Amino acid sequence: MSSLALAEATLLAVLKDDPYPAAVIQDRNDNDREWMYKAPEIPKVRAHLFARLCLAAADHAAQASALCQTQGKGVSKLNDGLVRYLEDFRKTSRAKACRFFGIDAELSGQTGSALGWLRCGLQELGIEPKEAKKGLSLTRMKKDWSEKREDKKVERGTNWGADAGKLEETRVIELLEAKWTKINDTMLTQTVPPPATLLSGLPSGRNMHTVKPYQLAELGREALEAMRAPPDRTDDYGGEQLSSDDDERTAVGTPVGAFPGTHEEYRSGSARSYF
């Protein structure tokens, strides 16, 4: 769980500044007209930085998934939903890294390499590109069915987002792929490198947070000596302890059946009782 928390904290630095999921929401909204005068932009330096942060988050998620796989069966078996979430989180983080590398390449004018990075992202998500296989595809049909089910969950407000953003990242990559493919086919006509060539040159991840080893707090010498010394007897007077025997002797007993607070009226000079 510590590795998962570290992975989510690292990816959070990317999600809060990523404008493309909002662009996908606008693109799917039929009543939105903001795309006519404003397009999502991202600085080049931040794109490369975000890609390395996503790779670091993927490494932490892979470590958490590997630790969960080593758990035994029976009582110590973990929830299947948690294991599936860890695997989806790892795939989504690597796909985000490929997308940001593609954005960095597109800003440099290398649209062919950008399309190659997007296909790497789809490969990490386990989705086939649209032009790779014509006709009906079981993977595409499964993805479309998952999209419809996720949209219904969002509308109902139920347990949505359990796929660690995998569906959302797929929509972002497909949006950029359709846009850049049109530009590359009509204007630039650059060669798209295969995904295996690009994935072999992935850099290392960059950690957002550094986990330091836990260090025990050290007590000072005065504090240790105060803990070893016997406690102060400030309540004792002359070595004699107070006793409550005197209070018991002076206490006046309440007659049986008397009304509370009226014991003075039942006192008499003689100790005889009349029946």
Residue 237 domain-assigned (yes or no): no
Q: What are phi and psi of 240, to 5 degrees?
A: -105, 135
pLDDT at 132: 47
Domain range holding 55? 2-199
Residue 274 domain-assigned (yes or no): no
What is the pTM for the complete model shown? Answer: 0.66
Residues β-bridged to residue 220: none
Residue 8 domain-assigned (yes or no): yes
Which residues of the chain fall below pLDDT 50?
132-133, 274-275
Residue 251 domain-assigned (yes or no): no
Residues β-bridged to residue 237: 240
Residue 262 domain-assigned (yes or no): no
Residue 256 domain-assigned (yes or no): no
Burial class (CB in 10 A: 0-12, 13-18, 19+), 32: exposed
pLDDT at 97: 92
Q: How is residue 239 written in tokens?
A: 């070595």
Residue 137 domain-assigned (yes or no): yes
Distance CA 238, CA 254 (A): 35
Residue 187 domain-assigned (yes or no): yes
Which of 186, 191, 205 is closest to 119 using CA atoms?
A: 191
Which of 77, 58, 60, 80 is closest to 5 using CA atoms?
A: 60
Total Cβ atoms within 10 A of residue 208: 16
Name the strand (E) or helix (H) holding 50: helix 44-69
Residues β-bridged to residue 240: 237
Which of 102, 110, 93 is closest to 174 using CA atoms?
A: 102
pLDDT at 100: 92
End-to-end CA distance of the chain: give it in Å, rounded: 80
For CA atoms 121, 171, 91, 97, the dihedral sign is: positive
Q: How many domains does the chain have?
A: 1
pLDDT at 101: 92
